[in-house]
Amino acid sequence: MENFRQEFIAFAIAKQVLMFGEFQTKAGRLSPYFFNTGLFNDGESLAKLSQFYAKAIEASQLPYDMLFGPAYKGIPLVAAISVALAGLGRNLPFCFNRKEAKDHGEGGATVGAPLKGRVLIVDDVISAGTSVRESVSLIRAQGASPCGVAIALDRQERGQGELSAVQEVTRDFGLPVIAIATLEDLIGYLRGQPELAAPLEKVLEYNRQYGARST
């Protein structure tokens, strides 16, 4: 496991963004862990989160020209990640959308730099893929090209079929998905923490039951 992925999982657990217990998912499954990026809710934690995104994006070596953050969770993410990338020597434009187009002032459906070139979408997670679908449509409508999606955690969990939501995005849109960490990374981290043996067993069982098939 790349070192920053392990560091990210430890950070998420320390901030109680990643918690263990029994949590019901939207699909009605009882998950042994819960991940909520909304709890990265202060300056220090958002700064660290954006640095992890920047490291994952750079490690992917994906060519891109700008960043796009879908409203609402993508708005603080895209701004913070652009700052983190600038700290690595990559000064790139960014943009985010409005939930409702503005018909006065500067107007339009987006705020920030004009959408052009290869656009990397940044969001917290991919659940049903709705946010990605809407982002792809908006980006293409303005003459730009979506080139990938960056997220914090890939649960690697089946959706309605055999594939995960992330795998479905890759299949449907031809877009690579960059994750700071995956469920596989989480399992690897838990295996190295004897005090988390109980959560590890529950996560492994959940993965056996609901894990997406490999592609």
What is the distance between the alpha carbons of residues 144 and 134, in angstroms, rounded to a whole number? 14
Pairing between β-strand 94-102 and β-strand 145-154 as defined by DSSP bridges: unpaired
Q: Is the peptide bond before 210 cis (omega within 30 degrees of 0)?
A: no
Q: Are 165 and 26 in contact (CB under 8 A)?
A: no
pTM of the model: 0.92
**Six-digit token pair at 197?**
């043996």
Active-site residue 104, yes or no?
A: yes
Q: Is the alpha carbon torsion for 180, 214, 170, 41 positive or negative?
A: negative
Pairing mode of beta strands 66-69, 94-102: parallel
- The answer to whether residue 215 sits within a structural domain is no
Residue 105 lies in a domain: yes
Q: Which two tokens stand for residue 111?
A: 């705020």
Check: CB of residue 28 under 8 Å from CB of residue 59. Answer: no
Q: Is the pLDDT of residue 34 over 60?
A: yes
CA 180 to CA 22: how far, in whole Å?
24
Residue partners of 10: CB distance under 8 A and separation at least 6: 189
Structure confidence at residue 2 (pLDDT): 64
**Whole-number mean pLDDT of the chain?**
92
- Residue 70 is assigned to a structural domain of this protein: yes
Instruction: For residue 149, tell me if it sits in a domain.
Output: yes
Q: How many residues does the chain have?
A: 215
Residue 73: pLDDT above 60? yes
- Is 45 a residue whose pLDDT tops 60? yes
Known catalytic residue at 202: no
Catalytic position from the list 15, 99, 102, 116: 102
- Which range (12-16, 62-66, 69-73) has the least confidence? 69-73
Give residue-wise pLDDT tens across range 114-147.
999 999 999 999 887 788 999 999 999 999 999 9
pLDDT for residue 157: 92
- The pLDDT tens digits of the residues spanning 142-191 come to 999 999 999 999 999 998 788 998 999 999 999 999 999 999 999 999 99
The one catalytic residue in 48, 55, 73, 104 is 104
Residue-range definition of the domain harbouring residue 202: 3-210
Q: What is the pLDDT of residue 102?
A: 55
Question: Within a domain: residue 60?
Answer: yes
Residue 88 domain-assigned (yes or no): yes
Parallel, antiparallel, or unpaired: how do β-strands 18-24 and 108-112 relate? Answer: unpaired
Domain count, the chain: 1
Task: Say whether 103 sits in a helix, a strand or coil.
Answer: coil
126: domain CATH number is 3.40.50.2020
Quick check: is 73 in a domain? yes
Is 24 among the domain residues? yes
